[in-house]
Amino acid sequence: MPKQHYRPESFQARDSIGYLIKRSQRLLQECIEHSFENKGCTLQQWVVLMHVRDGLAITVADLCRELHHDSGAMTRLIDQLEERKLIERRRNPQDRRVIELSLTKSGQEFVESLIVIVTEALNTALEDFSRDEVKLMQSLLRKFIGRLEQLVPDAALTVATEQK
């Protein structure tokens, strides 16, 4: 039986965790994309490049699971990055279904140049926060995410497929 954090009678949309998270997400995204300015890169695109760079995802399917993004949309996003010579596709000879992604030289340089900008933006956004507050916020969010992944099983496809 769930705790009564919110009650229907007294519910205020603007006080709910949903509104607060949504607004935080949106503002932060704008903040970062604003600092991207004329780099010609979406936050989304940069995140994809980062994941490939760090080996967190090497295929389109990986990226979709990690970022919880549509596979069709991801294909088209990769198309753009490939066209700009930031990323390369290479068919895996062992499993010819999969296409492995890797950054080009200029892709790597590009990603790293934006890391500086992103960390700057994040640090500025968190300027008023102590180190402990940031840690706290991170751990609360992680806990929240963990809980939600239980509730929305589709969301954690990696886990779901392992369970089978």
Partner DNA sequence: CTATAATGCCTGCCTAAGCAGTCATTGCCG
Partner DNA sequence: CGGCAATGACTGCTTAGGCAGGCATTATAG
Q: What is the contact surface with its own copies in residues (CB under 8 A)?
A: 2-8, 11-32, 34, 43, 47, 50-51, 54, 56, 68, 112, 115-116, 118-120, 122-129, 131, 133-134, 136-138, 140-145, 147-149, 151-152, 154-155
14 touching DNA, by CB under 7 A: no
Question: Could you tell me how far CA 29 lies from the centroid of its own chain?
Answer: 11
Select the residue interacting with DNA from 7, 96, 105, 131 (CB under 7 A).
96
Q: Which of 61, 109, 66, 65 is nearest to 84 (CA)?
A: 109
Q: Considering the complex, what minimum distance in angstroms separates the CB of residue 44 from DNA?
A: 5
47 touching DNA, by CB under 7 A: no
SS3 assignment, position 103: strand
34 touching DNA, by CB under 7 A: no
Return d(Cα 107, Cα 87) in angstroms, integer: 6
Return d(Cα 150, Cα 144) in angstroms, integer: 10
94 touching DNA, by CB under 7 A: yes
Q: Which does 94 bind (CB under 5 to 8 A by kind): DNA, its own copies, none?
A: DNA
Q: Are 91 and 99 in contact (CB under 8 A)?
A: yes
**Which residue is associated with the tokens 């496809």?**
157
SS3 assignment, position 90: strand
95 touching DNA, by CB under 7 A: yes
CB atoms within 10 A of CB 66: 15
Q: Mask 49-78, x = binds DNA (CB under 7 A)?
A: ----------xxxx------xxxxx-xxxx
Q: Which residues bind DNA (CB under 7 A)?
A: 42, 44, 59-62, 69-73, 75-80, 89, 94-99, 161, 164
